Amino acid sequence: MIITHDELNAALARTRLQAKARSVAHMVLIDGLSMAEAARRTGISKEAVRQIRARVAYAIRDVCGLPRDWQVVTVAVPSDIADEIREMAHQAHKRHYSKYPK
């Protein structure tokens, strides 16, 4: 699943994260920075970045209506396989939501 700015902002609204932590979430979930790079740029620990990402990922599941056992995963991959990964996520959503009549 690709997270949009609007979805991230809606998820952040469900948290009590301060501005710096919100910035970290944007760096990792929208800009695609690694947690280590986000930590380096902001001067906080990698563990703190991991905790921020986990809190926001939980809120994203709620905002996007994802099943509780699904995980929000952020990865950096070569551009030639990014579309393949997006398609995998799309197909998983189709399989899951096709179980429920509209």
Domains in the chain (CATH in brackets) are 5-74 (1.10.10.2690)
Are the CB atoms for 29 and 3 separated by under 8 Å?
Answer: yes
Residue 32, phi-psi category: left (phi > 0), alpha (psi -120 to 50), beta (remainder): left
pLDDT digits (tens, 9 = 90+) for 68-96: 788 877 777 888 898 898 889 888 878 87
* Predicted TM-score (pTM) above 0.85: no
